Copies of this chain bind each other. A is one copy, B any other.
Amino acid sequence: MEVNKLYQFSILNALMDGVADEGINVSTMLESGDHGLGTFKHMDGEMVVIDGIVYQMKQDGSIVVADPEMVVPFAMVTRFQPTQVSHGSLSGKDALDLHISEHLPNARNLFVAIRIDGQFEHITVRTVGKQEYPGECLVDVGKRQVVRTLSNTTGTLVGFYSPGFSQGLSVAGYHLHFLEDNRRNGGHMLDFRGGNMQISLSPITRVELELPQSNGFNSATLLADAGNIQQVEG
């Protein structure tokens, strides 16, 4: 696929409604991108895609390279070719907001692919566990999430900024997954502070959205509101 085009399978609100039984597999997903995030069948952990390698970060803290046949009910990936690279420190999402508005001033309503490599003084991540029954909604799965704060580590944050209008399709705002350089810890980023960072960005103007054809997707409501999304993905 062309560089810096976002490929998305399914929509976030399908996860909100617990639609996580079926999907594409990891190897198919990798045809569309080498950078991104998502989850696995039954929401079994967090997915991060770094340099074309797909990692599964499970609730118990274990991290494995995903099998090519694993089922992916939701993913956002791109063939990342940064158009803007800079170096510095960042303290959380507000600092990232300022950084992006300075370096990509005309991308407020676009998607932005983001990669941050460097030293993290601290970073708070969560990992969700598996659905306890088919169709369990993400808010309920999220109630059993494990939150960890890592200190003085090096690693990579990978993901996207999604514009406000895409809420429900995506997570409006920042959606970033983290993995340590040593591949020992990671998860969905909740907060971070770091220095000596390389911040790589690319605006995205083309999105290819693929919708599931499953009964589960087509019988779901798919209308979760911003409050619920913020609760579990904020």
Contact = CB atoms under 8 A, between A and B. Distances in A.
Nearest to A104: B218
A218 B210 CA distance: 25
A92 interface: no
A99 interface: no
Given A206-B209, A209-B209, A211-B205, A109 B165 contact: no
Contact of A207 (B13, B111, B208): B208
A107 B206 CA distance: 24
B211 A207 contact: yes
For this complex, into which size category does the number of interface residues on chain A fall? 20 to 34
A213 interface: yes
Interface string A181-224: 00000000000000000000001011111111101011111110
A110 interface: yes
B217 A109 contact: yes
A107 B165 contact: no
A223 B165 contact: yes
Contacts of A168: 165
Interface in A98-140: 106-111
A221 B106 CA distance: 13
Contacts of A66: none
A163 B220 CA distance: 11
Nearest to A215: B106
A220 to B, nearest CB: 7
B165 A108 contact: no
Contacts of A232: none
B207 A107 contact: no
Contacts of A220: 109
Interface of A: 11, 13, 106-111, 163-166, 168-169, 203, 205-213, 215, 217-223
Given A108-B218, A207-B210, 15 more contacts: A106-B215, A106-B218, A109-B217, A109-B218, A110-B211, A110-B213, A163-B222, A164-B221, A164-B223, A165-B222, A169-B169, A205-B213, A206-B208, A207-B208, A208-B209
